[in-house]
Structure 1
Amino acid sequence: MRPIDRLLGVMERLRDPVGGCPWDVEQTFATIAPYTIEEAYEVADAIERNDLNELKGELGDLLFQVVFHARMAEEQGLFAFDDVVTAISDKLERRHPHVFGDEGQRSSQEQTVAWEAIKAAERKDRKKPGVLDDVPVGLPALTRAAKLTKRAGRVGFDWPSTDEVFEKLAEEVAELRVEIAAGDKAKAREELGDLLFVVANLARKLDVEPEDALRATNAKFVRRFGFIEAELAKDGRTADQSTLEEMDRLWDAAKVAEKAAPAN
């Protein structure tokens, strides 16, 4: 038995209304979707930490999510796992005519341009010709913002350089300060969203994935705060028994320690 057939069989047993797992049986596309997103992030986390052994397990968890959704769809007579595999195979062959068709070889840049042209044609076939129509709403907001501006930039709706983005960034910061001072929480929320959108745009202009950048900063914050806690623990204290001034000094010490640490 192929491993994938075994996994499909396991999923079928779990969803069996009679002898299956009650939790698995009661799930729907909507209730499983958050787990699917979580598993994708855990794959990214394993890659970020270069833990390739854990990556194997996380990829398995992500594959199980695909199998779960496919099983629920099959139960409703919509499609089955084989249809999912066929659909992605067809799409990849269609979007790589220089590999599977008669077109000549392309450079990576040429393939990127051709890929977008093929996707645009597919949007028209689906009667969704809008430039932004198929940017998934369910993406993390920063990632979606970067994709929206990237897509708009391809048709010329873009700032010429990062200079204009920095000017807009300063403008949005000033507008946010005004609303905070006015005590208008709703307006402040809106202006904060505008500010984050410009930051995502700046990331796109710098060819940086904003989620990757923020994940790295989150990890750095956790690492440096851990240093603070470890130093305080030497005196038998916790962070809430310290002062902001002391923690600031330890934060700076953490930065110095990081710079002095040998590169891996």
Structure 2
Amino acid sequence: MVNFQSMERYSFQDLNRIMALLRQPGGCPWDREQTHESIRRNMLEEAYEAVEAIDEKDPGHLKEELGDVLLQVVFHARMAEEEGLFTLDDVVDGICKKLVYRHPHVFGTVDARDSGQALNTWDAQKREEKGQRTAADTLDSVARSLPALMRAEKIQDKARKAGFDWAEMGPALDKAEEEMGELRQAVEQGANVEEELGDLLFAAVKVGRFAGLDSEQALHGTCEKFIRRFRRVEELAGGRPLDSLGLHRLEELWQQAKQDEA
């Protein structure tokens, strides 16, 4: 057992100390065994759960999930300090310096009259900071660990800022139709199907951008709609196994489920 006294209320410094105790000899065997790689997925999952709490507009849930995200930050910083790489204070120092550097319109002499100009200033400072000399460098900097639809949207947005985009939605819709035709051809020929599917999805994201929509959120909405209608189909089937009904009957039930939502 470690030397620790419970408190009525804890601070950020207490969280860092608790993590250090969990990782030290005599602490938690599981926590001591972890590496950056072993808990990599945890960071993603906790971030998504925090986003879900935001979508739910539930302050209590959001507070909890932000704590889980913060735990991941402290966990990784603790392991890095043990390896002699950097400390949690170094992490805080780094983000403070980044905020000051990327807001010269607040902490310097640059002028930004609205949020658009502020964002342009941020992007310009970021390009200089990262040594991004070309527009292609900015595209390549978009994290590959992002969900693909989100990454596609960010890449397209950076290309737009470089002047590489259509002026209206029409050509984007035409491109989506073209990619759909190429996907059909690829399926018929049994070649390059994955590539053509990717092209179609990329084109669909472009249409979403012109419509002012978040493609990731749009697909999440469709997933929820599918689950809701699928549940209704099961109800309409009256307990009979769906795989015993045949596709024609299932299509009838699906159309009924859609009508029930109207």
Cα–Cα, structure 1 residues 176 and 33, in superposed 2: closer, same or farther, change >3 Å? same
Q: What is the aligned partner in structure 2 of residue 194 from structure 1?
A: 199
Measure the CA separation in 2 of the matches of 1:32 and 1:237.
42
Measure the CA separation in 1 of the matches of 2:57 and 2:84.
40
Q: What is the aligned partner in structure 2 of residue 258 from structure 1?
A: 261
Letter in 2 for 1:236: G
Query: Do 2:205 and 2:215's aligned partners in 1 also have CA atoms closer than 8 Å?
Result: yes
Larger deviation: 123-132 or 211-220?
123-132
Instruction: Determine which of 185, 191, 214 is the counterpart of 1:178.
Output: 185
Other structure's SS at 1:130 match: helix
Letter in 2 for 1:199: A
Asked if 1:211 is matched to 2:216, the reply is yes
Cα–Cα, structure 1 residues 129 and 153, in superposed 2: closer, same or farther, change >3 Å? closer
Q: What is the aligned partner in structure 1 of residue 75 from structure 2?
A: 68
Query: Do 1:120 and 1:129's aligned partners in 2 also have CA atoms closer than 8 Å?
Result: no
Measure the CA separation in 2 of the matches of 1:230 and 1:86.
56
- TM-score normalised according to structure 2 size: 0.87
Query: Do 2:229 and 2:258's aligned partners in 1 also have CA atoms closer than 8 Å?
Result: yes
Larger deviation: 122-131 or 93-102?
122-131
Cα–Cα, structure 1 residues 210 and 129, in superposed 2: closer, same or farther, change >3 Å? closer
Other structure's SS at 2:131 match: helix
Q: What is the aligned partner in structure 1 of residue 19 from structure 2?
A: 11
Q: What is the aligned partner in structure 2 of residue 48 from structure 1?
A: 55
Cα–Cα, structure 1 residues 35 and 183, in superposed 2: closer, same or farther, change >3 Å? same
Measure the CA separation in 2 of the matches of 1:125 and 1:71.
31
Instruction: Determine which of 124, 135, 157 is the counterpart of 2:131.
Output: 124
Q: What is the aligned partner in structure 2 of residue 57 from structure 1?
A: 64
- TM-score normalised according to structure 1 size: 0.86
* Cα distance, 1:215 vs structure 2: 1.2
In angstroms, what is the RMSD of aligned CA positions?
A: 2.4
* Cα distance, 1:119 vs structure 2: 1.4
Identity of aligned residues (%): 45
Larger deviation: 160-169 or 96-105?
96-105
Letter in 1 for 2:251: D
Q: Which runs of 5+ in 1 are unaligned?
A: 260-264
How does 1:25-40 map onto structure 2 within 5 Å? 25-40=32-47
Q: What is the aligned partner in structure 2 of residue 115 from structure 1?
A: 122
Letter in 2 for 1:203: G
Query: Do 2:176 and 2:204's aligned partners in 1 also have CA atoms closer than 8 Å?
Result: yes
* Cα distance, 1:231 vs structure 2: 3.5
Measure the CA separation in 2 of the matches of 1:83 and 1:129.
31
* Cα distance, 1:157 vs structure 2: 1.5
Instruction: Determine which of 65, 69, 91 is the counterpart of 1:84.
Output: 91
